[in-house]
Amino acid sequence: MVVQGIGTPAIRLSCVERQLWVTRMAEKRLQRPLRIYVLDTSAVTDPRLRNVLGAGSLDEAIRVLADLLARARLHYGLEIYMPPSVYEEARRFLLANGVTLQGFEMLATWITIKPPARHEISIPASIMREYVEEMRNRLMRGLRVAEEHVRRAFEAGGMYPSEVSDRGARREKLGALIRGLRERYREATRHGVLDSVEDLDAVLLALETQGVLVTNDEGVRKFAETLGIVSIDPMRFIGLLKGLLRHVDRDAEDVGEAERVAAEAEAQLE
């Protein structure tokens, strides 16, 4: 029923009509290119998740994130994708770090698992050439790091001959050298570069779907940018979801106010 003469026409809506109206208002605010998101592993394993979602545990954070994704998909029609390789990696990590199977399944319900069409996606040869050159340079840096630690190990062996030195001291010295080698080798060869098939699958899927890649990995982000893919940090993604849902809540309040005015007008006419 439409009531005239009280300023803006007031309309009494059914529950279904109310939900459709709120959804239509939400969709008008969001352009299609911003409705597609591809998550890499870091999007659901970022250590900052608990703080930004106000959760006391990783399991609680995953449940809150699942609720945000659910509401955003229902109201805005967001498309949330994850490659199978990333899904399995995220599943192993989350279940090994305190997330319950129920909590993980709540999250997975709102994520579409889709492999990239690897045989149909083309990457410019110039980009692949730059990537191979970068990896070659990094392997050379890694070799120099290994050589340096071999020299250190040799010198340490001379300082602690096996026939006179304490085994515990030698083991501790060797352990420190190995830890240093691992850290510096990882820094030289893997930091800031695309270094796993899971990361590559996420980039390829974002390229295929023309979606926004959600990642905090510097190497993934840099490679995605060379392909013209938009990427955002997981914390910004969560902020975006919260911002969108605030609009939905305001729309619902507007509908409620319209219904209240309509009810008052009907009461006056009786």
Q: How far is CA 167 from the centre of its chain?
A: 46
- Average pLDDT for 161-166: 54
Taking the CA atoms of 262, 267, 268 and 270 in sequence, report the sign of the dihedral they define: positive
Strand partners, 213: 38, 231
User: What pLDDT score was predicted for residue 180?
Assistant: 75
Res. 14 pLDDT band, cuts 50 70 90: low
3-state DSSP: the chain helix, strand, coil percent, rounded to 5? 65, 5, 25
Q: What is the 3-state secondary structure (H, E, C) of 34-46?
A: HCEEEECCHHHHC
User: Is the separation of the CB atoms in 80 and 47 below 8 Å?
Assistant: no
User: What pLDDT score was predicted for residue 265?
Assistant: 42
Higher pLDDT, 176 or 61: 61
Higher pLDDT, 15 or 28: 15
| Rounded Cα gap, residues 44 and 91, in angstroms | 10
| Rounded Cα gap, residues 157 and 149, in angstroms | 12
Percent of the chain predicted with pLDDT > 70: 69
User: Is the separation of the CB atoms in 43 and 50 below 8 Å?
Assistant: no
| Per-residue pLDDT reduced to its tens digit, 165-213 | 566 666 677 677 777 777 776 676 566 678 889 999 999 999 999 999 9
